């Protein structure tokens, strides 16, 4: 039996192992692709993989990044987008219609909060915000119109921790799809799909790309969920530029090294400052004083950066 590749190997090589040909993926910096024949166009229209028409729909450099992200999350497929908010808005719009209700953690990234509270109501989609400590009661809180649960763990910026397995189980028992923002944990520390989520969202801008020189986002999940998001992306247009995809792939190659060191440094700093006379409180899941410490220890490989 072939041993599964470790997370560091998947971060470097993606789903398929070492590349043949150019060691760094070529940048397909083009808007449009030409077909060699009408027969090749027909194969594209029939869905043959590896053929491309227009980079808003798909691009080979972007596709390589998507396959690497799917490998890291242990998922069937992934979709790369132009920012984390492009990823979240595309996910939400691929899952909802007018009259639906979202249940959402009250502790979410600010852009997501604004999407839910300011934009979606214009299109007759409502949101009820739930305190993180109450999310385990989502089965009781959900109504007939509730279709989607959105959570983040650990949260940006206060590092609240949600018991994802418990919450996802309760949500799915009521027929709710679950989207988890996994940006702060990264796929190396936490894999929400294995804990019951339907879609995982990332801001590539942060840890995954790692060099503060690009904007990007991603959705990861089953073929069906990602296909629905991809169809929505084609309409909304939030596609990732091929050069940004190339830079994100470069960042992934050092992800396992960076995250390990960042976690170690963060824990050392948190321990150093806990109890400091000049500080009222230190928020870090790796501290035993953190209310989510036991949950984080159970569902995360380490406590984050």
Told to judge if 44 belongs to the known catalytic residues of this protein, a careful annotator would answer no
**Ordered alpha helix ranges (H), the chain:** 7-13, 38-45, 60-73, 84-95, 110-114, 138-141, 164-173, 186-189, 223-236, 242-252, 255-273, 293-299
Q: Which of 52, 77, 100, 109 is catalytic?
A: 109
Phi, psi of 268 (to 5 degrees): -65, -40
Q: Which of 174, 206, 264, 297 is catalytic?
A: 206
Told to judge if 114 belongs to the known catalytic residues of this protein, a careful annotator would answer no
Instruction: Work out the angle at residue 44's Cα, subtended by the Cα atoms of residues 38 and 50, and round it to the nearest 5 degrees.
Output: 120
Told to judge if 181 belongs to the known catalytic residues of this protein, a careful annotator would answer yes
Q: Which of 5, 56, 250, 264 is catalytic?
A: 56
Classify residue 172 as exposed, middle or buried by CB count within 10 Å of its CB (0-12, 13-18, 19+). middle
In the chain, % helix, strand, coil (3-state, to 5) comes to 45, 15, 45
> Is 218 in a helix, a strand, or coil?
strand
Q: Which of 160, 163, 181, 241 is catalytic?
A: 181
Classify residue 41 as exposed, middle or buried by CB count within 10 Å of its CB (0-12, 13-18, 19+). middle
Q: In what order do the strands lie in the sheet with 126-130?
A: 77-81, 217-221, 199-203, 177-181, 146-152, 101-105, 126-130
Told to judge if 144 belongs to the known catalytic residues of this protein, a careful annotator would answer no
Say how far apart CA 253 and CA 249 lie, in whole Å.
7
Maximum alpha-carbon separation in the chain: 73
Active-site residue set: 56, 109, 181, 206
């Amino acid at each position: 039996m072939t041993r599964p590749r470790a997370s560091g190997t998947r971060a470097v090589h993606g789903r398929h192992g070492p590349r043949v040909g150019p060691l760094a993926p070529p940048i397909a910096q083009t808007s449009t692709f030409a077909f060699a024949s009408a027969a090749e166009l027909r194969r594209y229209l029939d869905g043959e993989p590896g053929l491309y028409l227009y980079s808003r729909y798909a691009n080979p450099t972007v596709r390589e990044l998507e396959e690497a992200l799917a490998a890291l999350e242990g998922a069937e497929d992934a979709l790369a987008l132009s920012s984390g908010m492009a990823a979240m808005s595309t996910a939400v719009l691929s899952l909802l219609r007018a009259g639906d209700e979202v249940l959402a953690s009250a502790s979410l990234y600010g852009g997501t909060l604004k999407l839910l509270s300011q934009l979606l109501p214009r299109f007759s989609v409502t949101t009820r915000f739930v305190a993180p400590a109450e999310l385990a009661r989502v089965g009781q809180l959900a109504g007939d119109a509730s279709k989607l649960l959105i959570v983040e763990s650990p949260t940006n910026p206060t590092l609240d921790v949600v018991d994802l397995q418990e919450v996802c189980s309760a949500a799915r028992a009521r027929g709710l799809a679950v989207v988890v923002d996994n940006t702060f944990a990264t796929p190396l520390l936490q894999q929400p799909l294995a804990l019951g989520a339907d879609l995982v969202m990332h801001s590539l801008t942060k840890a995954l790309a790692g060099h503060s020189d690009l904007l990007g986002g991603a959705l990861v999940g089953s073929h069906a969920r990602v296909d629905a998001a991809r169809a929505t992306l084609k309409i909304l247009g939030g596609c990732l530029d091929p050069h940004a995809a190339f830079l994100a792939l470069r960042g992934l190659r050092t992800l396992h090294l960076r995250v390990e060191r960042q976690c170690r440094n963060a824990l050392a700093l948190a321990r150093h400052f806990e109890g400091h006379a000049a500080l009222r409180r230190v928020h870090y899941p790796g501290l035993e004083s953190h209310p989510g410490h036991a949950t984080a220890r159970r569902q995360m490989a380490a406590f984050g950066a």
